[in-house]
Structure 1
Amino acid sequence: MTLPYLKTRRLVLRPLNENDAEAIAELGGKDFDVARWLTGTSWPYIEGEAEAFVSSLMQTDPFESEAVFAVTLGGVFIGTVAIEAPGDLVELPETPTLGYWLGRAFQGNGYASEAVEAVLDWAFATYETQTIAARAFESNTRSRAVLRKMGFKPHSMTDRFVKALDQRVANVVVRLEKQDFERRSFAA
């Protein structure tokens, strides 16, 4: 099964493809200011890591593993937004999990909020779920602000190993109820 194209006011979110590996490496893997916030990215960047990531995604059903959307602005890749199938979080094992990142040059313009909102709308319908979870480093105030803006509420604390930092980092686990998301969307 393939992912759809999602369009927002300024962005197009499309299924990730093999041609995106170079942009993933440049914008995420080779920029420490981005890589430091991602749990699975090595530092220093290991050549081929982005290609291996994309290749593994191409071989799995996105609805059984991870549905990753390339976020594009005017056709230019600027980051990703993903929904991981239930099972990623021990704290909420039956709940799909949201994750996202943008290249540093594209941060601070509202693109993350725009992309996340589109994927959440899609995910609630596609997964027929009443709740979506996310986690963010406790110290990542910008990411946590995006999640709050979407209506996520704190659920618990956990810690995850971060390859780029070579240490475990405290994470806030948050959850979003479909009714809260719809209420927030309707009010806007």
Structure 2
Amino acid sequence: MRNWPLFDLSITTPRLVLRLPSLADLDELADRAAEGVHEEGFMPFLFPWTDGEPAERARRTAQYHFRAWGALTPEDWALEFAVLHEGVVVGTQGVMAKDFAVTREVSTGSWLGRRFHGRGIGTEMRAAVLHLAFAGLGARHAVTQAFEDNHASLAVTRKLGYREDGITLHNRRGEAAVTQRFRLRAGEWAETPGVEVHGLAPCLPLLGLDGS
């Protein structure tokens, strides 16, 4: 799309393709949300969007991406990629920033359809957006956080070299819960072999960068 080049932006890894979802991708992503993202009785998200019936989860998924597209500005942006494995949409990986041109800091968030857990996909898709951030956009820092009982997310974060960066207390379903914050500096980032970014240059002004 000539006036929205973000739809031509993609990241490829040895096993995955990350791209802003087409409407067909978004339908498939909504199906993954409806099928389930985590076990019952557990809530890994700050906003409990996975509570509710399958149809409601599917609708929330589509609406979230529509809002991200409409709200994007050079000063406050979120790239929410559909993640494809062997041609199937398996989840979503986001990278976000505010005032990136000044702060050079991004944050990340993701989810993966439950039936695709345990295959190393979560690590690979996070590595993909870290490559975009550090190698593509010139980020100096990447931050993330997860609840202390979200062991899978914590394992991915530690595997990719982040360092602990404090804690935050939250109200989770009426009870206090702790998230562990993490930070990865550019000088400590280890590039993952086989990751490539495509179609980035036309997108840079939309992300607060001039491309020079």
- 2:125 matched to 1:135? no
Residue by residue over 1:24-68, the C-alpha shift from the partner in whole angstroms, topping out at 9 and shown as x without a partner, is: 433235526268222231411436212211211221337532111
- Equivalent residue for 2:180, pick from 158, 169, 172: 172
| Structure 1 residues 128 and 83: CA distance shift in structure 2, 3 A | same
Equivalent residue runs for 1:1-188 within 5 Å: 1-2=5-6, 4-28=9-33, 31=36, 33=38, 36-40=43-47, 41-45=49-53, 46=56, 48-61=59-72, 64-86=76-98, 95-162=105-172, 165=173, 167-182=175-190, 185=192
Question: Which consecutive unaligned segments of at least 5 residues does structure 2 have?
Answer: 194-212
Q: Distance in 2 between the 1:160 and 1:141 partners?
A: 17
**Which of the two has higher C-alpha Rg?**
2
Say which SS state the counterpart of residue 43 (structure 1) adopts: coil
Across the aligned residues of Structure 1 and Structure 2, the Cα RMSD in angstroms comes to 2.6
In the alignment, is the contact (CA less than 8 A) between 2:161 and 2:188 conserved in 1? yes
Say which SS state the counterpart of residue 64 (structure 2) adopts: helix
TM-score of the superposition, structure 1-length normalised? 0.81
TM-score of the superposition, structure 2-length normalised? 0.73
Residue by residue over 1:98-139, the C-alpha shift from the partner in whole angstroms, topping out at 9 and shown as x without a partner, is: 111111111111111111111101112344221100001111
Q: Distance in 2 between the 1:169 and 1:22 partners?
A: 33
Aligned length: 178
Higher relative contact order (CA 8 A, sep 6+): 2
In the alignment, is the contact (CA less than 8 A) between 1:62 and 1:68 conserved in 2? no
- State the identity as a percent: 25
